[in-house]
Amino acid sequence: GDSVTQMQGQVTLSEDDFLFINCTYSTTWYPTLFWYVQYPGEGPQLLLKVTTANNKGISRGFEATYDKGTTSFHLQKASVQESDSAVYYCVLGNSNYQLIWGSGTKLIIKP
Amino acid sequence: EAAVTQSPRNKVTVTGGNVTLSCRQTNSHNYMYWYRQDTGHGLRLIHYSYGAGNLQIGDVPDGYKATRTTQEDFFLLLELASPSQTSLYFCASSDVLGGYEQYFGPGTRLTVL
């Protein structure tokens, strides 16, 4: 069945560092891939969406790309700020309009 | 702006207790979802609905019932709560015509002693 794997449980960076988070996915459907972000005490919210049509998404300084050949999906940001501290989820949209969630990557930014 | 509210925000009950979690959305969305969130598992889908009176089973339905009374209101019922159901519960809504984006409520933290 459809699945998503996030291997990085936690990433610790300093302000202005480069961020790169990776996940892999498996699906027999044309993938629609998302990055959701969850700030402390809140529900998740959509950060970026990427489809087979556009291959790339950009929002709030974050960029997401996917590689069909390696079935991997990346989130990156050139210069992180303390306000980016959150949990980032890699999410796959399946053919039933359901979301398949990765286990999340907690981003900690040292001031 | 999209709005999903949940009540209560926190709930403590005992093993065998009866709990109802409430969710209301004012987005006029057709789809509503109940998830549980546990450390190391991300979000797992319990039940979902695509309209009043409809109910679909998610990935982890055991021990949970749900009911969608109106387009706006979706309830999650735990009739015999167990400690394994201690978790953070999220409700979400979406409009398929608008794509996959789901809008989430603030969550309900449930503790079963």
- For the stretch B9-37, pLDDT in tens is 999 999 999 999 999 999 999 999 999 99
Question: What integer pLDDT is reported at residue B98 of this predicted model?
Answer: 53
Mean pLDDT by 10 residues, chain B (113 residues): 88 97 95 91 90 93 97 97 97 79 94 97
Residues of B in contact with A46 (CB under 8 A): 101-102
Q: What is the mean pLDDT of residues A88-106?
A: 88
pLDDT confidence band for A109 (50 / 70 / 90): very high
Distance CA A41, CA B109 (A): 10
Residues in B lying within 8 Å of A, measured between beta carbons:
4, 31, 40-45, 48, 58, 90, 92, 94, 96, 99-107
Residue A67: φ, ψ to 5°: -120, 110
| pLDDT value at A94 more than 90 | no
Out of B4, B102, B106, closest to residue A99 by CB: B102
What band does A89 get if pLDDT is binned at 50, 70 and 90? very high
Contacts of B31 in chain A (CB under 8 A): 97
pLDDT at residue B71 in the model: 96
Catalogue the long-range contacts made by B44-49 (C-beta closer than 8 Å, 24 or more residues apart). B44/A101, B45/A98, B45/A99, B46/B76, B47/B76, B48/A98, B49/B74
- pLDDT tens digits, one per residue of A20-66: 999 999 988 778 899 999 999 899 999 998 877 677 888 999 999 98
A→B contacts (Cβ < 8 Å), by residue, are 6, 9, 32, 34, 41-46, 49, 89, 93, 97-99, 101-104
User: Which of B90, B92, B100 is closest, CB to CB, to A97?
Assistant: B100
In Å, how far is B45's CA from the nearest CA of chain A?
9
